[in-house]
A = this chain, B = another copy of it.
Amino acid sequence: MAVRREMNILVVGSVAYDSVETPKGKNDHQLGGSATYFSVSASFFTRVGVVAVVGKDFAKDDLSVLEGHGVDTSGLETDSGETFRWAGKYTDEMNAAVTIETRLNVFEHFRPRLSPDHRRAPYLFLANISPDLQHAVLDQMSARPRLIACDTMNLWIEIAKPRLLELIDKVDVLMINEAEAKQLTGEKSLVSAAAQLVKRGLQALVIKRGEYGAVVFHREFTFATPAYPLARVVDPTGAGDSFAGGFMGYLAAVDDTGGEAMRRAAVAGSVMASYTVEEFGLKRLKSLTQKEINGRFGAFVELTRFHPLGGGQGLPLVQKV
């Protein structure tokens, strides 16, 4: 496997073993974690380095999954103790998991240490971990990355909101879901929540809506994309991080952080998320080809296009006087 050598995106987040139950079946002890889904997804676009911690129980085969995708695992620390574990269950709607168990294990005392190479990464993704760890990574960067994006979750909004807001004020793109945006701002309308967050200084708030797609509230425009309509969703785990991986992977690959690029990045993210949910864990991403990715990007063009009318974009309206 030949990939570009230089590391283009650094991600800090979790590498985990998940036990997942969905209406389509159960899968115990599958490789997961935000940094895993993100880096494998982004690896189709550019070279990714991962900063995370695993336990002594972390399997060599699982390390090979990352390395097989060209992911730089030099920042993957091995600590005594067990790898982070998450168990969750999805009901019929598949939109939200019920967490059955979370065992932080080695994550409890993790302090990320970045190599000189990692400190120079031009794109940085702070996946959903504690704001303190996100700050700890950001503070070690030797130069301000061209683009910093971060994720978070309800837990951190509840127990570490000031520290989280401090982080948000330092990043360019916040990628969360609708409930989190409302919880974070106290607003009842998503549009008002977005306005409040963008006003803090974000370039864009990216709202992940699961089966309803994603919305980019950029400071200059709003862009919405549907999700790809799938007849069979097997396991939604990792969809959000796969989306983030496609989004950041695209931007880093074209090295463009402008608004037009962010529109396409949101579609690239949607393409990656749509594949992830087709199988348990990383199974689908592992077999994914470039041809399939490009094919589904083309399918998104078809899914969303409506030619504005020739000779202007207006509608044929009755003349009322």
Contact = CB atoms under 8 A, between A and B. Distances in A.
This chain: copies in complex: 2
Q: Which of A192, A231, A271, A306 has the most CB of B within 10 A?
A: A306
Interface stretch (A73-81, A118-126, A129-137, A292-300): A292-300
A233 B189 CA distance: 8
A287 interface: no
Interface stretch (A27-35, A39-47, A53-61, A147-155): A39-47
A266 interface: yes
A278 to B, nearest CB: 12
Interface string A183-226: 00000111110110000000000000100110101000111111
A189 B215 CA distance: 23
A165 interface: no
A159 interface: no
A264 B313 CA distance: 11
Given A189-B231, A224-B304, A254 B316 contact: yes
Given A301-B308, A306-B263, A44 B225 contact: no
Interface residues of A, number: 69
Interface in A151-180: none
Interface string A305-318: 11111000111111
Interface of A: 1-4, 23, 43-47, 69-70, 92, 188-192, 194-195, 209, 212-213, 215, 217, 221-226, 229-233, 250, 253-254, 260, 263-264, 266-268, 271, 290, 293-294, 297-298, 301-309, 313-321
